[in-house]
A = this chain, B = another copy of it.
Amino acid sequence: MIKTGIIGATGYAGSELVRILTNHPNAEITTITSQSYKGQNYNDIYENFRHIEKICEEENIEKMAEECDVIFLALPHGVASKKVNEKILQNTKIIDLGADFRLQDINVYEKWYKTPHKAKNILPEAVYGLCEINRDKIKGKRIIANPGCYTTCSILSLYPLVKEKMIDLKSIIIDAKSGVTGAGRGVFLSTHYDEVNESIKAYKIASHRHTPEIEEQLSYAAGENIILSFTPHLTPMNRGILATIYAGLKENYSYGDIKTVYEKYYKNEYFIRLTKEGVFPETKWVKGSNFCDIGFAVDKRTNRIIINGAIDNLNKGAAGQAVQNMNILFNLDEKTGLDYPAIFPV
């Protein structure tokens, strides 16, 4: 059994980790910590775990590193990079669900996050844990930067077309819609029930921090620098991300041409499901699962491709992919503990 620890277990991503790991056949939860709820029983905070007793401990990462085979960090940006150091990494593996180790370009990090990076020596070692793309790089590593929710959905949807240069790299527009759990469990007027329910809005237009993360990864794939537009929207539902992506096609490709390219990259990827022609992903079909559904249409009138990608933001977009990374790190079948369909209707 893999001994796991979770730092920041009482946020929504942390809670999803607890849920997935509780059902994982090869892992057990050794320690969970919470700054806000330390000393409390986890099932007083998340009553879905009413039948399980587990105390939120005060965080002591050094001790956890000695006791756990892997530690998941579910922390605000700027915090994880203060906690992780060489000594920790000698004792355990780190899977960081936050932003601190996702951008390899420190200048970009410091510009978008408006704070100095606090672990510049560790950063080069971190691997961007987008499993389907970086699987081979992940194996054997000590620290994994688990991708953001919007980024997972956006990159997976675009990767084959960027890699194969089928689209005009200057034309990419990502219009993404997220459920409210993406905003976390902190209480703000902007996530107060009556302010969010029955309304949709865009936010952080042309300024959301997942933009450079998408750009950096897609630029690696393209072998050249990509700048794109990314617009997130707050959608009145708990979970799910739908990305609607627009790009100009470089030639008059048919639906079949594009399909062939997606299949080249994804036909053996269990967690990526291509929809049939004329069928488009809906967030309900992935909710509660680790799947990423991808569908697309070719618009002959404009010679654009319109791609839809859908994931569960807390699962494939956070905790599910984190466990998938754990499975890779510990040489398990990637599907272990993650092989369940979406629950519907829910």
Q: Are A198 and B15 in contact (CB under 8 A)?
A: no
Is A301 at the interface (CB under 8 A from chain B)? yes
A113 at the interface (CB under 8 A from B): no
Which of A51, A235, A284: most chain B CB closer than 10 A?
A: A284
Query: By the criterion CB–CB under 8 Å, are B51 and A341 in contact?
Result: yes
Contact with B along A237-279 (1 / 0, CB 8 A): 1111010101000000000000000000000001001011001
Instruction: Check if A48 sits within 8 Å of B289, measured CB to CB.
Output: yes
Number of copies: 4
Which candidate, A100-108, A124-132, A184-192, A321-329, is the interface stretch facing chain B?
A: A184-192
Q: Is the CB of A233 closer than 8 A to any CB of chain B?
A: yes
**A228 part of interface (Cβ distance < 8 Å):** yes
Cross-chain contact of A345 among B12, B289, B340 (Cβ < 8 A): B12
Q: A291 contacts the other chain (Cβ, under 8 Å)? A: yes
Q: 8 Å CB contacts to B: which residues of A82-109?
A: none
* CB-based contact A236/B238 at 8 Å: no
Shortest A218–chain B CB gap in Å is 14
C-alpha gap A285/B50 in the complex (Å): 8
> Is B200 a contact of A242 with CB atoms below 8 Å?
yes
Interface pair A205/B342, CB less than 8 Å apart? no
Contact flag A185-B177 (CB < 8 Å), given A51-B341, A244-B202, A285-B50:
no
By the criterion CB–CB under 8 Å, are A47 and B301 in contact? Answer: no
What chain B residues lie within 8 Å of A227 (beta carbons)?
301-302
> Chain B nearest CB: distance from A340 CB in Å?
6
Instruction: Specify which chain B residues have a CB less than 8 angstroms from the CB of A276 in the assembled complex.
Output: 44
Contacts of A206 in B (CB 8 A): 297-299, 301-302, 306
Interface residues of A in 183-223 (CB under 8 A from B): 185, 187-189, 191-203, 205-206
Minimal Cβ-Cβ distance residue in B for A301: B227
Listed in ascending order, the chain A residues whose CB lies under 8 Å from chain B are: 12, 15, 19, 22-23, 44, 46-52, 173, 175, 177, 179-181, 185, 187-189, 191-203, 205-206, 227-229, 231, 233, 235-240, 242, 244, 246, 270, 273, 275-276, 279-289, 291, 293, 297-299, 301-302, 304, 306, 308, 339-346
With A194-B238, A202-B280, A235-B236 already in contact, 9 other A-B pairs whose C-beta atoms are closer than 8 Å = A19-B341, A44-B276, A192-B192, A192-B193, A194-B345, A201-B242, A227-B301, A239-B345, A343-B346
